Amino acid sequence: GDIQTRGDVASRDALVQRCKKLGLDAIIYSEELKKPVNLSQSPRYAVIADEWDGTDNHKYSNNELPNGPIIGIADSPNPRFSDVAACGFVNVVSGNLYYAVREQGAWLVPRYLYGGTKKEPLQTSGKTNLDGEERVIADTIMLGNLVPHFLDYVISFGNVQAKSYAAHLALVASGGYDAFVGADNCTTAPGKRRTAEELGPLYLLLREAKGKGNKVGGTILDWNGNDLDNELIGLGEKKVFHFVAGATPQIAREFVV
């Protein structure tokens, strides 16, 4: 399954200690916690995190491939995707911060880690149909033996399989790519599952990013064509997902109809 480094453990411990110091009335769900951590007897909120997305990149890519922490805050202790009120991802390679606040928008702060403060609104490509010119990321690791069904999309423009879900979702939210297809079907690493430590927080990034040329922005659908909006994130139960993140609901739906 996924590897764990000392950095993952340090980030996990820092997250828990920071939440305690802030006095958050919350339960913490994360990739690195063996079970959720309750900060109160009756929490009002949930913190959802992947303490370090792209650990493999961090360990092996000489700081060339994207990696960094993801966090989301939801206003329910057992949150649905629609309950996430704020989220963020910092790519430590570029220094860029991507973040969103529910009903207030989604932004990029270029080179945030290096002192950048100017924010830019995120805008998806606005693409609504598959016409042979779409730019698609396919998660060839988690698609497993389903990869042949997506080869045409992978080959057309080259697959930017950067092994960082946060980077993939950020690329769709910011207009670089039109769709990102993922699944819970890993056939090479037993035990590796597509749980929602990245999708849960960053669903909001897609939803708050406006679409270029139209008002409708990004979304994430399951393979039955249902918006994840009302789905439980389910990290405590290790709930898994097959999904399409799209620049618009229309292009995401074209993969599942």
Question: Is-contact 154 140, C-beta < 8 A?
Answer: yes
User: What local confidence, expressed as pLDDT, does residue 68 receive?
Assistant: 95
User: What local confidence, expressed as pLDDT, does residue 242 receive?
Assistant: 97
User: What local confidence, expressed as pLDDT, does residue 214 receive?
Assistant: 61
> Which phi and psi angles does 179 have, rounded to 5°?
-160, 155
Residue range 99-116, pLDDT digits in tens: 999 999 999 999 999 999
User: What local confidence, expressed as pLDDT, does residue 34 receive?
Assistant: 86
User: What local confidence, expressed as pLDDT, does residue 215 receive?
Assistant: 65
Q: In Å, how far are 67, 118, 132, 141, 246 from 96, measured between CA atoms?
A: 11, 11, 31, 25, 21
Tally helices (H) and strands (E) across the chain. 7, 14
How far apart CA 204 and CA 151 sit, in angstroms, is: 29
How far apart CA 131 and CA 27 sit, in angstroms, is: 44
Show the CA angle centred on residue 100, arms to residues 95 and 101, nearest 5°: 140
Residue range 194-226, pLDDT digits in tens: 999 999 999 999 999 998 766 678 999 999 999
Low-confidence ranges of the chain (pLDDT < 50): none
User: What local confidence, expressed as pLDDT, does residue 155 receive?
Assistant: 83
